Chains A and B, each alone.
Chain A
Amino acid sequence: KAGVTQTPRYLIKTRGQQVTLSCSPISGHRSVSWYQQTPGQGLQFLFEYFSETQRNKGNFPGRFSGRQFSNSRSEMNVSTLELGDSALYLCASREGSNQPQHFGDGTRLSIL
């Protein structure tokens, strides 16, 4: 099976812009979660989607949003970008509620 696929791998944006990141989970996995990884804050949970519904949300401002499509693919959107949004954004998928999460390579977002 192919792993979790995230596109694009790298993005450079400027303050105030918005960005959309994409994640294709492992085939058959219906749950997709998003995490932000920074040197200062480490790995932090953003949100989780299952069957097109957001089931859980971390402590991030409303500028961070996401959605999931019927084929389980997910997108994450960040609006009004700030310098502090520079990070590696990781997507993870899992098969069921009692299964581990499998991570993609991430999208590295740099804000100038």
Chain B
Amino acid sequence: AQSVSQHNHHVILSEAASLELGCNYSYGGTVNLFWYVQYPGQHLQLLLKYFSGDPLVKGIKGFEAEFIKSKFSFNLRKPSVQWSDTAEYFCAVSPGSARQLTFGSGTQLTVLP
């Protein structure tokens, strides 16, 4: 069965700091990769997705992620975080048929003003 690991459970940064959240998955076949964000009191929103093609994916709000197949990783990055980025971030994987999502345990990001 596939699994997703997010090693950082809680990250605290000051505004303007750079962000990198780790995501590793275990699945031997073709995968689709996602990052979702959950702002306080809001529903899960799609930040970015990777299906195929360029392994460097750009999403909304200045976020990007890089798919490194050899490392089974899909790390999320942002060069300069804002207070409004405070939220919980979830990495998710689905097999090539893009059906069920397997989620990581989430990373709570707190950005201090």
Binding site for B on A (CB under 8 A): 3-4, 33, 35, 42-45, 48, 55-56, 58, 90, 92, 94, 97-106
Whole-angstrom CA separation of A4 from B45 in the bound complex: 12
B48 to chain A, nearest CB (A): 9
Q: B43 contacts A55, CB within 8 Å?
A: no
Q: A105 contacts B34, CB within 8 Å?
A: no
Q: B106 contacts A48, CB within 8 Å?
A: no
Which residue of chain B has the shortest Cβ distance to A4 in the bound complex? B43
Residues of A within 8 A of B36 (CB): 103
Which residue of chain B has the shortest Cβ distance to A58 in the bound complex? B100
Whole-angstrom CA separation of A48 from B98 in the bound complex: 11
Q: B101 contacts A45, CB within 8 Å?
A: yes
Contact pick for A104, options B43, B49, B104, CB 8 Å: B43
Q: A90 contacts B44, CB within 8 Å?
A: yes
Q: Does B67 sit at the interface, judged by CB under 8 A?
A: no
Q: A105 contacts B43, CB within 8 Å?
A: yes
Given A43-B90, A100-B34, A100-B49: A48 in contact with B43 (beta carbons within 8 A): no
Residues of B within 8 A of A104 (CB): 43
Q: A92-B101, A102-B46 provided; 5 other pairs, C-beta below 8 A?
A: A43-B103, A44-B103, A45-B102, A104-B43, A106-B43
Q: B106 contacts A42, CB within 8 Å?
A: yes
Interface residues of B in 21-37 (CB under 8 A from A): 32, 34, 36
Max chain B Cβ within 10 angstroms of own Cβ: one of A42, A58, A104: A42
Max chain A Cβ within 10 angstroms of own Cβ: one of B34, B97, B99: B99
Q: Does B73 sit at the interface, judged by CB under 8 A?
A: no
Q: B98 contacts A98, CB within 8 Å?
A: yes
